[in-house]
Amino acid sequence: MTKQHANWSPYDNNGGTCVAIAGSDYCVIAADTRMSTGYSILSRDYSKIHKLADKAVLSSSGFQADVKALQKVLKSRHLIYQHQHNKQMSCPAMAQLLSNTLYFKRFFPYYAFNVLGGLDEEGKGCVFTYDAVGSYERVGYGAQGSGSTLIMPFLDNQLKSPSPLLLPKQDSNTPLSEAEAVDLVKTVFASATERDIYTGDKLEIMILKADGIKTELMDLRKD
Amino acid sequence: MKLDTSGFETSVPTIGFGSSSDMLDELSSVPSFDLPHTKEFDGFQKKAVDMLKHAKGTTTLAFIFKGGVMVAADSRASMGGYISSQSVKKIIEINPYMLGTMAGGAADCQFWHRNLGIKCRLHELANKRRISVSGASKLLANMLYSYRGMGLSVGTMIAGWDETGPGLYYVDNEGGRLKGDRFSVGSGSPYAYGVLDSGYKYEMSVEEASELARRSIYHATFRDGASGGVASVYHVGPEGWTKLSGDDVGELHYHYYPVPPAIAEQVMEEATAE
């Protein structure tokens, strides 16, 4: 007697790509705005970037319903933190909170591929990259989502920073200027859009600096 | 989509256990293999691999010698065939005198080691003394045993220095816990064992031991596709742990096997002569 398998899955993949680059005093977080299901486009204007705190911005691709639920949990936990500690959460603190939140659903995971970007306690840019169940590490740059396999090798080529594991320790942040980093992100998304069907429509770029957050929107191919 | 799998079925019925007359039948029949009972035949393999999620392929090792405990690991994390990271921290600092290594699911290892660190600190506060390596590894093993069969993937070594001297335990997701003085865990462990076992002497100095550890990791990354990145080496002594080295294995290769400039020139000459 063969086991009956469910023909309904609780998950769906809404596609999309997210990228983040950490600089000496800035952090660039970018994501496309296409939300799709299978071969259909649900929206050309869906933002995958969410501000969690002044210095921490989350960008997630994957199943957007799970992303929305995850975002709500993090927002409420941040509010509690603010009440208890009278200050905003720092990016490394938010990074660990996100990791724990993801792991608590280890046996029914959030189908969310996250990149967290922001500024650390010293004002330097920081990017944290995650897998679906919460393992995380601080990196100089990261990409997640359907176009990540197209983008990562190129970022490795342009930005390959020394591993944080090397001894003597070397800084993993990119030496690029803010303008160069934004330009790189635009280039990289334009290329990914050419070869990934789930990436396109518009590119939303958020630049985080000590004095505030700037947002830029760029058109991508809509086919 | 229902695939036509009639070509996979054999005409010969399966053999009963221990009947010798069926041996010839076994040899002559077309081998049949189990197909997954799923409607989505194409996506099944991907789903199975995806469930492993990160860092199943790895090389970690630890050994006890006269000078304490030496712990080393690579830093590659792979998701199926894609290298998702070359800079994963596989040696986790539980507290200033205890280290844990990571092999298996990255999230599982990270979370449970962090949890273990918290438990160790609570023990310290409750009992006014540091927890032993034996105690810490038992805490972890018991936690993992209670999640047995639920799909956690953890193959870790707890290394530290306590009142009884150096301690090394291997703990895995089945709830197994082994005390020993030489372990290597991961897909690259056979290669690491080869180098480690042949060069090991209890009376080694710290420098010799760290070089042996580094070499073992390097050789494992050379032969195992799922291991690579940076070879980190830590030493645990009576005062706690210190990180001794972190070397890119690509550069280590040319450090151990430099390309002799003379031979390179020779090859070039032969090519132009032809």
Hey, CA dihedral for A105, A110, A112, A118, is it positive or negative? negative
Q: Which of A153-162, A176-185, B7-16, B181-190 has the lowest mean pLDDT?
A: B7-16
Of B107, B111, B248, nearest to A163 by CB-CB distance is B248
Examine the pLDDT at B269 and tell me if it is beyond 90.
no
Please judge whether B246 and A165 are an interchain contact, meaning their C-beta atoms are less than 8 angstroms apart: yes
Q: pLDDT grade, residue B218 (50/70/90)?
A: very high
pLDDT at residue B47, rounded to an integer: 63
Which architecture characterizes domain A17-216 according to CATH? 4-Layer Sandwich (3.60)
pLDDT at residue B16, rounded to an integer: 43
- Interchain CB contact of B230 with A (< 8 Å): yes
End-to-end CA distance of chain A: 46
Examine the pLDDT at B176 and tell me if it is beyond 50.
yes
Shortest distance, CA B226 to any CA of chain A (angstroms): 17
Average pLDDT, chain A: 93
Examine the pLDDT at B13 and tell me if it is beyond 60.
no
Cα-Cα-Cα-Cα dihedral of A105, A110, A112, A114, to 10°? -20
Q: Which residues of A touch B241 (CB under 8 A)?
A: none
A77-98 tens-digit pLDDT: 999 999 999 999 999 999 999 9
pLDDT at residue B54, rounded to an integer: 45
Tell the residue number behind the tokens 């290394």, with chain if given: B159
**% of chain B exceeding 90 in pLDDT:** 62
Please judge whether B111 and A5 are an interchain contact, meaning their C-beta atoms are less than 8 angstroms apart: no
3-state helix, strand, coil in chain B (%, to 5): 40, 25, 35
Preferred mutation among B111, B234, B243 to probe A, highest tally of A CBs within 10 A: B111
End-to-end CA distance of chain B: 58
In a 3-state reduction of DSSP, which class is residue B230?
strand
Domain residue ranges of chain A, discontinuous segments joined by +: 17-216
pLDDT at residue B80, rounded to an integer: 80
Examine the pLDDT at A171 and tell me if it is beyond 50.
yes
CA-CA distance, A187 to B120, in Å (whole number)?
48
pLDDT at residue B178, rounded to an integer: 97
For residues A77 and A97, is the Cβ–Cβ distance under 8 A?
yes
Q: Mean per-residue pLDDT for A44-57? A: 95
Please judge whether A134 and B247 are an interchain contact, meaning their C-beta atoms are less than 8 angstroms apart: no
Q: Which of A165-169, A172-176, A200-204 has the lowest mean pLDDT?
A: A172-176
pLDDT at residue A49, rounded to an integer: 96
Q: pLDDT grade, residue B10 (50/70/90)?
A: low
Report how many Cβ contacts below 8 Å link chain A to chain B: 76
Task: Give the angle B264-B268-B272 at the CA atoms, nearest 5°.
Answer: 170
- Fill in the amino acid letter for A157: N
CA-CA distance, B220 to B74, in Å (whole number)?
9
Average pLDDT, chain B: 84
Examine the pLDDT at B21 and tell me if it is beyond 60.
no
Examine the pLDDT at A17 and tell me if it is beyond 70.
yes
CA-CA distance, B239 to B162, in Å (whole number)?
10
Examine the pLDDT at B8 and tell me if it is beyond 90.
no
Q: Which of A118-127, A207-216, B48-57 has the lowest mean pLDDT?
A: B48-57
Classify residue B209 by burial, with Cβ atoms within 10 Å: 0-12, 13-18, 19+.
Answer: buried
More confident residue, B18 or B34: B34
- Beta-ladder partners of A136: A130
Please judge whether B151 and A99 are an interchain contact, meaning their C-beta atoms are less than 8 angstroms apart: no
Q: Which of B23-32, B86-95, B214-223 has the lowest mean pLDDT?
A: B23-32
Q: pLDDT grade, residue B34 (50/70/90)?
A: low
List all residues 6 or more positions away from B121 whose beta carbon is below 8 Å from its beta carbon: B95
**Catalytic residue set of B:** 58
Task: Give the angle B88-A140-A55 at the CA atoms, nearest 5°.
Answer: 110
Tokens of B183: 């372990």
Shortest distance, CA A102 to any CA of chain B (angstroms): 9
Q: At what angle do helices B206-223 and B189-199 cross, to 10 degrees?
A: 150
**% of chain B exceeding 70 in pLDDT:** 75
Classify residue B239 by burial, with Cβ atoms within 10 Å: 0-12, 13-18, 19+.
Answer: exposed
Q: pLDDT grade, residue B260 (50/70/90)?
A: confident
pLDDT at residue B51, rounded to an integer: 57
Q: pLDDT grade, residue B265 (50/70/90)?
A: low
Q: Mean per-residue pLDDT for A194-207? A: 96
ipTM exceeding 0.90, yes/no? no
Q: Mean per-residue pLDDT for B91-118? A: 92
Examine the pLDDT at A6 and tell me if it is beyond 50.
yes
Examine the pLDDT at B1 and tell me if it is beyond 90.
no
Q: How far is CA A18 from the centre of its chain?
A: 5
Q: Mean per-residue pLDDT for A119-126? A: 94
Q: pLDDT grade, residue B7 (50/70/90)?
A: low
Please judge whether B229 and A131 are an interchain contact, meaning their C-beta atoms are less than 8 angstroms apart: no
Most confident of A5-9, A173-177, B88-92: B88-92
B226-236 tens-digit pLDDT: 999 999 999 99
CA-CA distance, A125 to B12, in Å (whole number)?
66
